[in-house]
Amino acid sequence: MECRVLSIQSHVVRGYVGNKSASFPLQVLGFEVDSINSVQFSNHTVCVNLQVLYSSILSSPLLSLSLSLSLFLSAGYSHWKGQVLTADELHVLYEGIKLNNVHHYDYVLTGYTRDTSFLEMVVDIVQELKRANPNLVYVCDPVLGDHGSMYVPQNLHPVYKNKVVPVADIITPNQFEAELLTGKNISTEKDAVEVMDLLHAMGPDTVVITSSDLPSRLGDRFLVSLGSQRTVLPDGSRTTQRVRMEVPKVDAVFVGTGDLFAAMLLAWTHHYPNDLKTACEKTFSVMHHVIQRTISYAHELAGPGRRPSPPQLELRMVQSKADIEDPAIVMEATVIS
């Protein structure tokens, strides 16, 4: 049966970020994707870029993999041009879909935004779509900041906490975002489990903390990710699966990896709805293959002893089609209590 995703994210002409990072991989995996571009830029504008660190061990809360999305300051493209979609313009586009009676969706996927009115409009759309299809799953990357600092306006925090997270089904915060949303600090694995339980209580059944400052069992060359999934059993009782992952660090800066991660988690939790361990192993393995192919290509272009430039580090998405469709499992998750 056809599975359709409404993806409301940014768009770039050159490179991979937002909808450019999410749409192709989802389509490769058989999803129909309807995209609304929250911005349309010539290229990514980030000076604060996502550095993905991946790992392959078998740990648990998110799987024994630990994809680490850390923020690093780096030089991006020198120039960019483009337009930003307003909340009213988003509403107009959605109304056009409704008027044609083609607004039945199985998933909604959202990422970075800087505008409260736009974010509130997204919530209104999600709520209306859920009324039409109570089984709709909303996957949200609650982009607020990292390493103790917000990189969106502070007035987005209460909107995410009070309006977005309660209607979300799957969320992918980093440690800072998870702490911000719950008001609880994470210093130990036990703290992380408690924070994920608090997030469950706010609404989402699946929570993945994509990166944390917790010490890795494999040393300082690895980062820790954690995940938790609540499932309702046939008798009405609930069970929770938690996983932990250790992910090796990569000495490179990428953009669009968080968007790819959220899209792949959507896809693999769809295929393995009650098995977070397997879904995460698939997701993190896809990330590993895409990142390794990108690094190899970037270093080849840059030449010996030279650091690759932002254009050279654009994700090798099309070239990774086979790995997206059927990833060799190179990362295993460990189930934790």
**Which residues are catalytic, by number?**
259
β-strands 170-171, 149-150 pairing: unpaired
Cβ atoms of 253 and 72 within 8 Å: the answer is yes
Spatial CB neighbours of 71, under 8 Å, sequence gap ≥ 6? 48, 49, 50, 51, 146, 147, 151
SS3 154: coil
List Cβ<8 Å contacts ≥24 apart for 197-204: 197/228, 197/240, 199/165, 199/171, 199/173, 200/228, 200/230, 200/240, 202/161, 202/165, 202/166, 203/165, 203/166, 203/167, 203/168, 203/169, 204/140, 204/165, 204/168, 204/169, 204/170, 204/171
Q: What is the CA radius of gyration of the chain?
A: 19
